[in-house]
Every structure is written in structure tokens, then in C-alpha cells.
Structure 1
Amino acid sequence: METDYILGIDLGTTNSLVGVVDSGFPILLADAEGSRLTPSAVFYDGDGNVMVGAAALRRRALEPARTVTSVKRFMGRREGEVDQNQDGWQPAYDLKALGVDAVQVSSEILKHLKGIAERALETTVNRAVITVPAYFNDAQRQATKQAGELAGLKVERIVSEPTAAALAYGLDKMEERRRIAVYDLGGGTFDVSILEMRDGVFQVLATAGDTRLGGDDVDRALAAWIWRQMKVSDEEFEMIGVSKQSRLMTAAEEAKKRLSVQDEVTVDLPFFEGEKSYQVIVNLADFNKLATPLIDRTRAFCLRAMSDAGVKTEDLDEVILVGGSTRMRLVREKVAQWFSREPNLSQNPDEAVALGAVIQAGILSGALRNVVLLDVTPLSLGIETFGGLMNVIIPRNTTIPCKAGEMFTNAVNFQDAMLIRVLQGERELAKDNWELGKVAVPFPPGPKGSARVGVQFALDANGILQVLARDTATQTDTVLEIQSAAVDVDDAQVEKMISESVDHAFEDMNERVWTEARLKAEELLGAVEEALGLCEGMVEADEVEGIRQCAANVEAVLKSGVHDARVLKQANQELDDATQTLAVMLVERAMEEAIERKLS
């Protein structure tokens, strides 16, 4: 029997949670062992049997090659698209060898969570709201949605994790206007968002983050340090066997958790090397020294989010910590320093995102009312225009869902199709942005500027993009479906792209202005040559010579190889001024011909 329940699911890198609104209250559901946290781990035994959660995690030490963890880092990425070692993370497993992909693994986790909910509610549930990092791109959101559908769930909404956390925090403060920073450091991802809450409406003002940075990286750094202290061999941590790596990572994670409340811990590794056992003491100072470079990487994102939102630290009412990794004392100290205020610790950092997902699910099902959630798109979306420029249709940090469009025309004579290249990014030139997809829109050939193609971008509430291109002459629509593997760029490049847009802002803008001036120059030169032919013998010789000299100056600037937009714009203006008389003559001639046609 299907019910009106909609599950709220936090599909995390390290742990996942599920909940539902029951009798008007948002609650998180526990498994048979009484735990609300389900490890995001899946074990494949080779005979088609699958274990999920804590049972799978227990098998990792014995069979790491068959135990998949942190699979969220692979969501929405093509096979072999990025070297797994690029960010220092080398999983002990190989998805291809196991015969599965990231979507299938995630679907097993979601099936397990669905089962937990159905046992607790004693009914079948087939609908869900699932959270993703705010910086997940379209391909990653699509992959998450596919995983839900593969698990037998209709995914009603994809919600950004920091937004969900703020929703959980603000449920009892809907009458107040507040600005909140949500600092979300999970196992494998980091996000920071600036939100405004007013009259029951949550609006994301800005977001920034890194989908390849999280508590796993801290565990890895500590595990490598423990290995060096043991002095078992001269091998680097990355070179030792996966079984040893797995044991060290598990020990490091446990030590990290204990150091959130203790100043010193002892790491025991019994029978680590044959019959040899090891003990390593880790104090808080050693741990903080290892973790500081990683945590400091999040500071730039915090500053960027505040800058994009147009707020200063004194404008913020609260700073909320989300994600289990924010339990580290170092994180809380750094956040307090960067935001000039103590973070709000009233929420359980492990459960805040899931609780927000449950609340959003309750809103959609009608179990909760009077709350509206507005998310934003983290990167600008647009198309390539003539000359290789990026034409933005939906700017970065636009509230979604949204629609926007523009009209475009053919740039050359007798063009019979227009190639629509959909781009995502912050650079001025198309080549420096990501290509999400492309489609050719055919239309009847005709003179330059005769065709009219309307392009509309629609971002739904899940942040998934649909592009519609319409030939206005034939009223023919072409819809571009963005596939889950369409983004041929590593997730880690998101931050690099935004940084480069700032670093290269002046040269990028100069290149755009130069390109626009070049296109105008080429159009002007062609029009002048045609006009001189039409008005031959009607213009004084010295005036013709002056026009040709100005045209020669424009051509010389174009051929110089120096992209000085100011010089080219000046040359264009001089040629434009020199042809004023010629332009008047052409207009008069056209009017006379029109009158003659009318009289004949």
C-alpha cells in the first residue's frame, strides 16, 4: 500500500540518514540496531549478495577491495574521467572490477534507507527528497536522481545540503528576518552558503564550496602521519597495501573523533605487521598541525560567499556548523575567527541536513506548511555566440526554479543552421568554460540577420537544466536533454574556474571587448567596400581616398597581432565618421528606388 509519506534523505559521503514527518513532527528513523546514522558503505561478496551500512563497514578491514565507501565523490563523473589519485584519494576498491558504477552503489544505500523507513512506518514509501552538496553540478544532481529512481523512489526534489540545514535551524524562527552562514564540512565535500530568512522564506544569497574536500582528507593525512611514526618501513603511505591503508584510515578516523573531546589519544594497531603490534600517541597539537592546511582551504570559500552575497561578518545573525567533521575543535576555532563570532552549536551537525530534508519533504506532502525554500545556481549558464564569446542567460547565484531566454540571429549569409553550445562557467570566452551539451537548430537559409532563434533556459527546483531552442519562422522546437555524463570537467575544477575568472578578469574583459570590436570592424569593412561599389562615381575622389585610408588603418590594427581593443575601437570610430556622407547617400538612394517601385 502506497502512502502520502515523502522521505527526507541525506545521502552523505560518510554517513546517510532517513526521516519523515509523522503526526506533524519531523523525525529521523533508526535502523534495527537503534542507530540513525547509516554508514554510506556497500559490500559486494562476489556471489551477487550485497551488504549495506554498518555490516558492510565491518567487512572493509578484511576485504577492502569489495567494500565501497565515499562513492559520492564519483557521482556524475565519466568512467576514467579523472585519475582517482588526483586529490590524493586512492580507494581500495575498483568499481569497474566490481561490475558496478557510482549510481548503482548509491542506489543500494538508498534502498537500505527506504527499507529502514518502511520497517519503522510499517508501510510502503515510494517518494523522497534527497540532499546534495550545493556545489554539485547538473550531472551530479542527475546521477543522484537516477540513483533514487533505481532504488524504487520517485525523487520529488533535490535540495542543497546547506539550504536543508538552514531550513532545519529556522523552523521555529520563521517570523524573524535573519542572515545565516552555513558552514558544511562533511566526509567528502565542503559547502558554505549565505542565506536570508524572512517571513517563512529561505533564500540562498550565495554559495561556494569544493566537492573534493572533507573529513576523509583529514583522516588520510592523520593515517599517513601514524604510518610515519610507526617506522615499519621506508615506504610512503600511498605505496603500502590497501589492507594496511584501510586499517590505518579506520584508526585515524576513530582518533580524530576522540580528539574532539580529548587532548591526547593512543592508537592501537594489534598484529599490524604479522605478529607485531604498534601503539602511536597522537596529541591535539600534532593533529591540528596536520589538519590546519586542509581546514584553511575552506577560508577562501567563506570569503567568496560573503562577497557574492554582499554581506560582511557583522551583517550575519548566525553561523551554523553542519557535517560531522565540524566536531573538530580546530574547525570551530577557525570558523569563529573567520566570521568574528562563535558558531551556533544548537544543531546536531550529523543530523541537521537530514532534518532539513525531512522538513522539505513534509512541506511537499502537505504535512508542514508556511515555509518556502529558494535555492540558487552556483555557476552562470549561457551559450557561445559568434566570435567565441560566452553569452550568459542565467547568471550565477540566480534563485531557482527560474526561466530566462534571448533571441539570436544568423551571423552569416545563407546560414541554414545554428549550433547552440550550452556553457557553464564564469569566463568571458566560450573556450574557457564548460560545455554541458550542444544541439543544431535548422532553419531556412537566408541573408545575414534574417533568421530568428529563441533560446530558453529552464532550471527546475532540483537545479537540473533544460534548454529549448525555437525557430520563430517555423515554430519548430528543439529540446536539449543534458545527460548525466555531459560535463567533461572534474568537479574539483569548479573552484579553479571561479578563481581564474577573478585572476584573469581584466585580460578576459579586454579579450571580449577586442572580439566585439573585431567583429564590428569586419562587418564595417565589408559594408564600406559594398557601399563604395554602389556609389561609384557619386563620391568625391579625395573623400573616397580618405575612406580607404581609414579602412586600411582598421585592417592594419587587425593584422598587427596586438589585441588592443582601445586602438581598434578608435580606428572603427574614425572609419565610421569618414563614411557618414556615404551612408546618407545610400539611404537617399534606397528611398528613391522605393519611390520608383511604388510609382511604377
Structure 2
Amino acid sequence: MSVVGIDLGAQSTKIGVARNKGIDIITNEVSNRQTPSLVGFTARCRHIGEAAKTGETSNLKNTVGSLKRLIGRSFDDPDVQIEQKYNSATLCDVNGQAGVEVSYLGKKEKFTATQLVAMYLTKIKDITTKELNAITPVSDVTISVPAWFTDVQRRAMIDAAEIAGLNALRLVNDTTATALGWGITKLDLPGPEEKPRRVVFIDIGASDYTASIVEFRKGELNVKATACDRHFGGRNFDIALAERLADEFKEKFKIDIRTNPKAFSRTVAAAEKLKKVLSANPQAPMSIESLMNDVDVNTVMKRDDLEEMVKPLLDRITVPLEQALAEAKLTVEDIDQIEMVGGCTRVPAIKDTISKFFGKGLSFTLNQDEAIARGCAFCCATLSPIFRVRDFSVHDIVNYPIDFTWEQSPEIPDEDTSLTVFGRGNVMPSTKILTFYRKQPFDLEARYGQPEGLPGKVNPWIGRFSVKGVQADANDDFMICKLKARLNLHGILNVESGYYVEDMEVEEPIPEEGEQKDGDAMDTKSDEPPKTRKVKKQVRKGDLPIVSGTGATEDSVKHAWAERENAMYMEDKLVAETDEKKNELETRVYEYRDKFFDGGIYADILANFKSEKEDDPPKYEQLDKMLKGLVEWLEEDGWDSTKAIYVAKQEELRSLVGPIIQKYNDIENKKIEEAEEAAAAKKRAEFEAKKAAEPKEADAEMKDAPETEEKQ
């Protein structure tokens, strides 16, 4: 069983695993510690992660990013339209959900964002399984999500993980994961009765900005407030810089890169690199060869110029900080430490603004790129039964208030029909018991109480729950119905169970005054029965079935998507194996041309090799003809053949060269044996000569020795 934490980012993903008594960030197939969050489609297969990034420029229309920002959204959501600016692939409506239309296997296909995230998580699972050398595929994971994710987005992420064959033990908010990774290793946290240590965690990544105020005590953390800016991140700086460069190139080099998606995409990539260089240097050069119409471009940018052009963005930095402090009812003087994570926190202007706001220095003790993945792995370890981790409780909070509404009972005209069950700032996970007095089945709905605070135009509706089996009792009185509403570890709401109770009189013992306590010197027993009293209590009498309708994907649809994902995965695997066999064949062909001809190591053997049959053509001509034929075939008809044909061609080639290589090896082995025998014979001769010389030396010593005969 593995312990894996996945930081699913808008731009790239990091994977943390618990091993070697710590947390490691593992590398992907090209030894990078982060994998691009991209899914690409081609006429042969899918390219995911690094492969999608490599072919992105040449396959823009079929490469999809912003995966986590699309999941759980409808196509008409304004936030989805914003994501189109960061995607060259065509976003579209797929059965009411945001999705993408691409060309795959030579035809147009549509995939929902949930399917796209499932595809990507399948790749992450493969990377992790190979890195850990796991016998069975990785299963249990924790996945990070933005704190502003709604119920439907969280459900969609769980669905995507399930389609990918992963068991998400917990969806953990980004800054909460960071806080856990920071706090679980600290041994100097204050005790339960002491003043808590208050830390602000600021995470500014590629696409969003989150600030959380967290209180730490020994063995626990409590999130007090979280505020977000969903459209503030590194990519906003990149686009602003690219737009400025586009204007400059139009004026200076007479090219309009806005009319050429590939040229603009290359400029955005160059702008990202330029931004990183300017974070460490006051100015930096930039050049792009053959950007458009065979025109090379170059420029020099100053950090001051960059800060001036992104000033509208920089003016928004303090807004989430003010919101978080107000919600937590704290001031800047109450904050003990400001911990910065996320790649965009390296921008000097951002650091300066935040430092001035708090009036104190910033802390960078965590790895800015990997802190969330490490925290996710710690979270997974605390939930895993096979790892022993220091006890550390995580108390996150609800970011949007949740209301329940229901129809008024005809028998209770003054009944309230709505209730805020989980208020903003309510600790989660959390369970609430709702009580209703009814004579017949009834429905209730859950929705977000302040729709204007939701991201984009997310539907505030969460779910509808129908309570069955309700009826009046024999006296035509109300049935007392109890419903258990739970906001679970993932931040997902469900009405988990329902039951009904009856008011009944029960007897309970009355504690006597001066009752004998343990440890008294004298223990006396009384034969009198204990005194009891009758009290009214609600006694559970039976269960009430509940039919739930939520934003989760239907099981039949999810099953169909899982089957489709498995079929595409096997197709990708076959294509990869086919390419591998093709490359092996091509390698063998050119290797044998070098080794069997023009003075290669097998050339002499090949020239003198005799066929077993007199009417067979000489091996030299056979092999030469076969190799030339294979070169022509690979360049023409064989460039896109099947795995079985590549394997058959390689076997045919191996059957021809095998006897020649075997003869060469036999000759070489014979030479080695002869050399070893000669060396052994020489050694024996030296030993015999040395042995033969030893007696003569002894005799000589005896002759030279003086006579010392002792007389008696």
C-alpha cells in the first residue's frame, strides 16, 4: 500500500510519496520533478504530460490545459470563457458540462473536463507506480484542490479519480496541505492552554492566489479564515508581458503575432522565461528565432517596465489579505509569521507589497514549488493504516454557507422553511442533526446561501433529498424525523441517513448523595434495589430511506467513461509498444550495417561464412539485400506498420545474423580460452621453476653454515 499526495496544479503537477522515513517528490519519465498538466490528442494516440508539452506548439488545437479550472463547470460559466484565452483547443458544451472538442484518431471528439482530468490522473498513477516499483498500481491518494472549489467541483474531482482507478482518501485545500506540511514537523508549537501561533500561508501559483490564516497548537491546526483571488497568478503576468511584446514586435519588426496562434504561444512561453529572469535581475534580453514569417525578434526588458505594465494586478495583492484578517477578526499585529509558497511569490514586487502590508519580513522555509505535494503526502500518511505518523489534527473550514430549504408542513403554518446549517467558517468535517415533524414523506434541498460569493456563475444548488417512509402514528400524531447532514473530509455535503424517534418514558437510576467512591476504606453493599426515576427520552425506532439527487455523475455514465478511458489507455499502450518495436528494428538495421560491413567487427566472419546448403546465396549477399530492403521499407511503407510486423521483421533479421554472431562469439571465446590456458601454463612453469630452485638454495645455506658440534 502506498502513500501518495498529488498537487494537481493548473500548469504542472507534483507527486509526493512517503518513503525512507520522509516525503520524497518523485520524478517522471524524463526525470522532471513536475509534470505539465496537459492532455494532447493526435491521429494515433493521446499525449499526456511531458509528451503533450513537447508537441504543444505543433498541436495547439488539440492540446488542452487548465484542467482543474474547467472541471465541474458548465460551459456558459464566465470563468470557462476566461479559460479559452489560455487554451488554443476549442472549449465547448458537452451535455451541460464544460468540455473540449478535438481531433482524435482522425475524427472530431468531445470530452468533458471530468474525463480530461481522469486521463491526466491515469498518467500520474502510471508515473507513481513505475517510480515506486509497485507490484500493483497505486490506489490510495490525497489530491489538492483550491479552497474556492464548490461541492459540484469537488464531486467531479472524486469522479475523475474513480475513473482513473484511484481512491481519493481526501480532497485537501491547497493552503491547508501547506499548513499541515509546515506544522507536523514543528516540535515547539504552544500547548493547549497557551496562545496559538498564527501563521498566514500565501500561495500564488500559475492561475490563482489564496491566503489562509492558520492557528497552530501542539498536535493540531485550525484554519481561521481563507480568502482567494481566482484570477491572479503567474499566467496573468505572462499574458500581460506577451501582449506588450506583441505591440513591440508589430512596431519594430512589422509582424502581428496575434494573428498567428503558434507565434503567440511561443511568445507567451518566452515571456514566462523572461519573467523568471527578471525576478532575479534588473533587466534581461529576450530573442526568438523565426517567430513568424522567418523573422527573428529580440528585445531587452527592464524589471521596472514589467512592474509598471502589471500595476493593475499588483494593486490587487492586499485585497485577499484584508479579507482574511477581517474574517478571522485579527490584525496584522496578531500574525506571528507569513509563509510564502507558489512560483509567483518569487516576483520581487509581490514580496515587497506583502511585506509592507504586514510590516515584517516574509518566511520562505518551505519549498515554494513542492510544499503542497508534501503536505498532501503527509495528509495521506495520517489516513493510512500502515504508516505511523505523529498525531496531528486538521480542522479546515467551510468557505461558502450552506442552507437547507423545504416545503412548509400544512399542519404547521408558522414553520420556518429554511435554515443555514453550515455557516461560513464552520469547521469541517462536521455533522448536524436536523429534526422535522411530519405525517407524510417530504423533500428538502441544499444550496449555497450567498450565490454572489461563488466562483463564476456556479449554480448554487447542491442537492435534493427525498425522505421516504414517513407517516402519522396510530393517534394521527407527527412522526419525529431525524436527518444526519454531513460535510465530509472532501468538503462534500450529503444527507447520510434518516431515522425516526418516539418520546418514551424510561427509567434511569438516581445517583445517591454520599455514594461510595472507589478507594474508600470501607466498602459496604446494600441489598436494597437502586432508586430510579422516570424521564422522557427520544428513542430511535426505525430508519427512514433517503433518495439523494446531487451534482455527482451518474453511475452508468461514470462506468461508460471508465470503460472508454481503459480502451484509450490500452490503445496508447499499444502505440507506445509499437513505436518501441519500430525503434528497436531501426536500431538493429543500422547497427548491423556498421558491424557487418565496411570493416565492422563481424565483417571478416561474414565474408568467410559458409552456407549449410550449396544452392543458397552467400550470406554476404543475403544480409546486404535484407538490410537495404529494410531501410527502404522503414522509410516508405513501414513507417506506420503494426507491432506484430515489426517483431516479425526483427525475428527474420535475427535468424539470419544469429549464426554469424554465434560463430564470431565462438572464435572470440576460443581465443579467450587459449589465452587463459597459455597464462595458466606460464604460471605453472614459473611455479615449477621456483620450486626446483628451492633445494639448491637450501644446500648452499647448509654448506656456508659453521660447524658447531657439541661434545659431551
Letter in 1 for 2:147: A
Counterpart selection for 2:204 from 175, 180, 185: 185
Larger RCO, structures 1/2 (Cα 8 Å, 6+ apart) = 1
Choose 378-387 or 19-28, whichever is displaced more: 378-387
Structure 1 segment 424-573 matched on structure 2, within 5 A: 424-426=448-450, 434-441=460-467, 443-444=470-471, 450=478, 452-468=480-496, 470=498, 472=500, 475-484=543-552
- Aligned match of 1:25: 22
CA shift in 2, pair 1:449/1:339, >3 Å: farther
Task: For 2:477 and 2:327, locate their aligned partners in 1 and report how far apart those are by CA, in whole Å.
Answer: 37
Deviation of 1:159 after TM superposition, in Å, equals 0.9
Counterpart selection for 2:382 from 363, 367, 386: 363
Question: What are the Cα deviations for residues 231-272 of structure 1, in whole angstroms up to 9, with x where unaligned?
Answer: 269999996343233122212211111111111122323222
- Aligned match of 1:401: 429
Question: What are the Cα deviations for residues 77-109 of structure 1, in whole angstroms up to 9, with x where unaligned?
Answer: 134444743478352012431232222222233
Q: Please tell me whether the aligned partners of residues 76 and 485 of structure 1 are also in contact (alpha carbons under 8 angstroms).
A: no
Q: Please tell me whether the aligned partners of residues 441 and 471 of structure 1 are also in contact (alpha carbons under 8 angstroms).
A: no
Task: For 1:191 and 1:169, locate their aligned partners in 2 and report how far apart those are by CA, in whole Å.
Answer: 16
SS in 2 for 1:100: strand
CA shift in 2, pair 1:34/1:391, >3 Å: same
Q: Please tell me whether the aligned partners of residues 466 and 548 of structure 2 are also in contact (alpha carbons under 8 angstroms).
A: no
Counterpart selection for 2:51 from 52, 55, 75: 55
Choose 54-63 or 442-451, whichever is displaced more: 442-451
Deviation of 1:164 after TM superposition, in Å, equals 0.8
2:217 paired with 1:172: no
Task: For 2:255 and 2:312, locate their aligned partners in 1 and report how far apart those are by CA, in whole Å.
Answer: 20
Letter in 2 for 1:150: I
- Aligned match of 2:87: 91
2:142 paired with 1:121: no
CA shift in 2, pair 1:453/1:338, >3 Å: farther
CA shift in 2, pair 1:475/1:235, >3 Å: farther
Letter in 1 for 2:198: R
Task: For 2:124 and 2:452, locate their aligned partners in 1 and report how far apart those are by CA, in whole Å.
Answer: 44
CA shift in 2, pair 1:347/1:418, >3 Å: same
- Aligned match of 1:147: 160
Counterpart selection for 1:252 from 268, 271, 277: 271
Counterpart selection for 2:145 from 132, 144, 153: 132
- Aligned match of 2:291: 272
Task: For 1:347 and 1:417, locate their aligned partners in 2 and report how far apart those are by CA, in whole Å.
Answer: 54
TM-score normalised by length of structure 2: 0.62
Deviation of 1:54 after TM superposition, in Å, equals 2.7
Deviation of 1:448 after TM superposition, in Å, equals 13
Q: Please tell me whether the aligned partners of residues 220 and 249 of structure 1 are also in contact (alpha carbons under 8 angstroms).
A: yes
TM-score normalised by length of structure 1: 0.73
2:61 paired with 1:65: yes
Deviation of 1:211 after TM superposition, in Å, equals 3.4
CA shift in 2, pair 1:310/1:368, >3 Å: same
Q: Please tell me whether the aligned partners of residues 20 and 362 of structure 1 are also in contact (alpha carbons under 8 angstroms).
A: no
SS in 2 for 1:282: strand
2:292 paired with 1:288: no
Letter in 1 for 2:186: K
Counterpart selection for 1:111 from 116, 119, 122: 122
Q: Please tell me whether the aligned partners of residues 469 and 479 of structure 1 are also in contact (alpha carbons under 8 angstroms).
A: no
Task: For 2:324 and 2:255, locate their aligned partners in 1 and report how far apart those are by CA, in whole Å.
Answer: 37
Question: Which residues of structure 2 form unaligned runs of 5+?
Answer: 91-98, 103-109, 191-196, 409-414, 502-541, 555-712
Deviation of 1:417 after TM superposition, in Å, equals 5.3
2:445 paired with 1:421: yes
Task: For 2:467 and 2:252, locate their aligned partners in 1 and report how far apart those are by CA, in whole Å.
Answer: 63
SS in 2 for 1:63: helix
Task: For 2:256 and 2:180, locate their aligned partners in 1 and report how far apart those are by CA, in whole Å.
Answer: 41
CA shift in 2, pair 1:253/1:456, >3 Å: same
Q: Please tell me whether the aligned partners of residues 224 and 237 of structure 1 are also in contact (alpha carbons under 8 angstroms).
A: no
Letter in 1 for 2:174: E
2:404 paired with 1:383: yes
- Aligned match of 2:326: 307
CA shift in 2, pair 1:148/1:452, >3 Å: same
Q: Please tell me whether the aligned partners of residues 11 and 206 of structure 2 are also in contact (alpha carbons under 8 angstroms).
A: yes
Q: Please tell me whether the aligned partners of residues 212 and 223 of structure 2 are also in contact (alpha carbons under 8 angstroms).
A: yes
Counterpart selection for 2:113 from 96, 102, 115: 102
SS in 1 for 2:389: coil
SS in 1 for 2:309: helix
Letter in 1 for 2:422: I
Give the greater-gyration-radius structure (CA). 2
Task: For 1:50 and 1:481, locate their aligned partners in 2 and report how far apart those are by CA, in whole Å.
Answer: 34
Question: What are the Cα deviations for residues 491-533 of structure 1, in whole angstroms up to 9, with x where unaligned?
Answer: xxxxxxxxxxxxxxxxxxxxxxxxxxxxxxxxxxxxxxxxxxx
Task: For 1:281 and 1:428, locate their aligned partners in 2 and report how far apart those are by CA, in whole Å.
Answer: 43
- Aligned match of 2:36: 39
SS in 1 for 2:81: coil
Q: Please tell me whether the aligned partners of residues 380 and 394 of structure 1 are also in contact (alpha carbons under 8 angstroms).
A: yes
Deviation of 1:113 after TM superposition, in Å, equals 2.3
**Aligned pairs, number:** 477
Deviation of 1:181 after TM superposition, in Å, equals 0.6
Deviation of 1:378 after TM superposition, in Å, equals 0.8
Question: What are the Cα deviations for residues 123-151 of structure 1, in whole angstroms up to 9, with x where unaligned?
Answer: 13221111111111111112222222222
SS in 1 for 2:175: helix
SS in 1 for 2:189: coil
SS in 2 for 1:221: helix
Q: Please tell me whether the aligned partners of residues 17 and 351 of structure 1 are also in contact (alpha carbons under 8 angstroms).
A: yes
Deviation of 1:452 after TM superposition, in Å, equals 4.8
Q: Please tell me whether the aligned partners of residues 214 and 221 of structure 2 are also in contact (alpha carbons under 8 angstroms).
A: yes
Question: What are the Cα deviations for residues 348-370 of structure 1, in whole angstroms up to 9, with x where unaligned?
Answer: 21111011111112222224232
Task: For 2:420 and 2:476, locate their aligned partners in 1 and report how far apart those are by CA, in whole Å.
Answer: 23
Task: For 1:421 and 1:306, locate their aligned partners in 2 and report how far apart those are by CA, in whole Å.
Answer: 32
CA shift in 2, pair 1:26/1:279, >3 Å: same
CA shift in 2, pair 1:88/1:235, >3 Å: farther
Q: Please tell me whether the aligned partners of residues 186 and 323 of structure 1 are also in contact (alpha carbons under 8 angstroms).
A: yes
SS in 2 for 1:96: strand
Task: For 1:86 and 1:409, locate their aligned partners in 2 and report how far apart those are by CA, in whole Å.
Answer: 47
Choose 443-452 or 315-324, whichever is displaced more: 443-452
- Aligned match of 1:197: 216
Task: For 1:310 and 1:433, locate their aligned partners in 2 and report how far apart those are by CA, in whole Å.
Answer: 30
SS in 2 for 1:172: coil
Task: For 2:157 and 2:349, locate their aligned partners in 1 and report how far apart those are by CA, in whole Å.
Answer: 32
2:228 paired with 1:209: yes
Task: For 2:132 and 2:143, locate their aligned partners in 1 and report how far apart those are by CA, in whole Å.
Answer: 19
Q: Please tell me whether the aligned partners of residues 184 and 323 of structure 1 are also in contact (alpha carbons under 8 angstroms).
A: yes
Letter in 1 for 2:170: R
- Aligned match of 1:5: 2
